[in-house]
Structures are given as structure tokens and as C-alpha cells.
Structure 1
Amino acid sequence: MADPPQTEAMAGFGMKTEEGLSHPTIEPFPGLFESVANATTAELAQKAAEHKKISENKQNVWLEFLGKLRLYKETHGDCVVPRGYDVNPRLANWVCEQRKQYKLMKDNKKSNITQDRIDMLDQLGFAWNAQEAAWDRHFRDMKKFKEMNGHCLVPETHKEYPKLYVWIKEQRRHYSLWKQRKPSHMTEKRFQMLQEIRFCWDHREAIWSTRLEQLRHYKEKHGDCLVPAEFPENPKLGRWVKQQRK
């Protein structure tokens, strides 16, 4: 047991002794744990404030890109920003990221997309499936071309719809695969949509009809159908006309 002077000295440091114990037990200094708790709370509050500020900044950036996407839609009629969009590559990357985060959420994986963000994108008509959206865009272009020209025979080089010719070839290819019950992007719905605008499925028939249309334009310009075999403006038309005479 500690001597009285020792006991008094230890008491000054918040320590006490108990009978039957050979060593003193220590009590915390008055208010020590409380001050530590207060300091921790302050630190946590500061961290929370910093986190809130970062979250607000991220949300502001997100809303800024949403505004840019809205402007894109006003110009192009949809939210299908292509990869490598030269005008604003960051917007194209942001759009891809939204689809990525949405898929992660659907797969029950960690994602930074929220229901509020999904709702805002849905209201804008956001395309969560890029391939489906791209198909719909080309189909709309196909319909516009048909309305303007009365047919679906898009030339290989078209200033207004430069990618439409390749898309048309792809539809014919996938239609052929679909009929053979092979893996294909063609569906019954897409087939019916193309049928309604009298899409030409046969490649050879399409080529023949295209050349006939080109011959019609030639006659309007030159007054006859005497296309030279080596017609520099359209060599394929010259060879086709020659072949029809055989």
C-alpha cells in the first residue's frame, strides 16, 4: 500500500490506490477524453464539410455536362453523341460514362449514378443502349431521305447522310443472317419498320435500281441516255449502261 505522501502525490495526477493492490490504478485526467472527443468531432465536421464541397462540385460538373447534352439534342435531335465527337470529345466520354455507371448499377455493382440523375437523363431522352440508339438515328435518316427522294436508294457518297449507305448495306447483311437463323442484329421489329418504308433487301436489285436512278439524272442533265462507257463523273454508270446493251 502506498504511503500517505505518495497517495497524496498520485491523487494530484488523477491516480488512486486501492487496498489489497500492490500497484496503483490510473484514472483519466478530468476532461481528457472529453477534449479528445471534441477534437475528433471537429475533425469529422471539417471532413464532412470538405466532402460536401467536393460532392457539390462534382454535381455542378455533372449538371454542366447535362446542359451541354441538352444543347447537343437541340442541334441533332437526339442524345446519341458519337464516340470521338470532334466538337466536344469530353461530352462523348461523359455520355459513355453515364451508360457505364448505369450498367454497373443494374448489375448491383458500385456506381456513382443516382436515381435523380437517371430521371433527369430520361426526361432528356437519353439513350442507355448506344447501339439501339444509333440504329434508330439511321432509320430516321433513312425515312427523311425516302420522303425527300421517293426511294431508299441512297448513293455511296451523300453529303447530308454520309454514313447511311454503309448502314443500308449492314441491314441487308444482317437480314440475310437473320433469315438463315444465324446471329444477327436484325429483329422482327426492325424488319417490319424497314418494310413499311419499302426498303430494298436484295443487293443486286438495289444496285440495278440505283444505276437506273443515276441514268435518270443523267438524262435530265444531258437530254439522252447515251452515257459514255468511260464516263469520268460516274464510271460505274457508264459500265452499267454498256452492260444493259449487251
Structure 2
Amino acid sequence: WADKVRELMKYRNENGHCLVPRKQSTLGNWVMTQRAEFRKFSARKHSRMTPQRIKILNHIGFVWDASDKIGNRRNDEGWMQMLKQLMEYKEKHGNCLVPNKY
């Protein structure tokens, strides 16, 4: 467990966050497992999660519910750029019916 925490800290230092994609080899799977164990712990079910592990993960910036964070954090700037382009298109053409080849 401690080895994976160190690996997650390295990932955070390189990427600026702890939102490891599920497809990011074993680390992504480990992160998903920690979230699942936390949900079980919170529901007072048998879990490998402990208050000490929660404290450690919180300290390094672990995101317990990434459902609304992954897309936002990674694509916010790109999304805003596309919105700006759409607004420019509407200003020029009077609608938002952008052709696929535009």
C-alpha cells in the first residue's frame, strides 16, 4: 500500500493532481480500489480502508469522488476555447448549426 502511495505522490508531482485515469496501468486501478474501499468504509462495511489511510491520502490531495472532476480539470481550457469559437461562429452566421467540416 505504501509503495502505491509513493507512486501516486510521484504522479501528483508530475501532473499536478491525483486524478489518475483508470487506464493508467496499475496505479489507476489502485486509485479506483481505494475509492471503492472508502465507500465501503463510509457505509460501515468490511473494508481495508482505515482512518490512518484516509488521513494519508487526504494529505496528498487524493480525490475520493472524481466523477465530476476528471473532465473538468483536464479539459476546461480546451472547452472554453471551443465555446469561444462557437460564439464567433454564431456571431458570423446567426446560428449554432456548425457543419461537421467547419
TM-score (norm 2): 0.77
- Greater relative CO (CA pairs within 8 A, separation 6+): 2
1:68 pairs, out of 1, 7, 30, with 7
Runs of 4+ residues deviating >6 angstroms: none
Which of 43, 54, 77 is residue 16 of structure 2 equivalent to? 77
Residue matched to 1:94: 30
Structure 1 contact 104–110 (Cα < 8 Å) conserved: yes
- Give the TM-score normalised by structure 1: 0.34
Aligned partners of 1:136, 1:208: CA distance in 2, in Å?
20
1:207 paired with 2:86, answer yes
What are the residue-to-residue correspondences of 1:218-237 with 2, within 5 Å? 236=102
SS of corresponding position for 2:62: coil
Alignment partner, residue 134 of structure 1: 70
Q: What letter is aligned with 2:41?
A: M
Q: Whole-Å Cα distance in 1 between the matches of residues 15 and 33 of structure 2?
A: 20
Unmatched segments (≥5 aa) in structure 2: 92-100
Larger radius of gyration: 1
Unaligned regions of 5+ residues in structure 1, if any? 1-61, 147-151, 155-199, 213-234, 237-246
Of 61, 68, 71 in structure 2, the residue corresponding to residue 125 of structure 1 is: 61
Distance 1:99 1:111 in 2: 11
**2: CA distance between counterparts of 1:93 and 1:120?**
18
Q: Equivalents in 2 of 1:106, 1:78: separation in Å?
A: 23
Q: Distance in 2 between matches of 1:106 and 1:138?
A: 28
Distance 2:29 2:55 in 1: 20
Would the alpha carbon gap of residues 207 and 94 (structure 1) be closer, same or farther in structure 2, given more than 3 Å must change? same
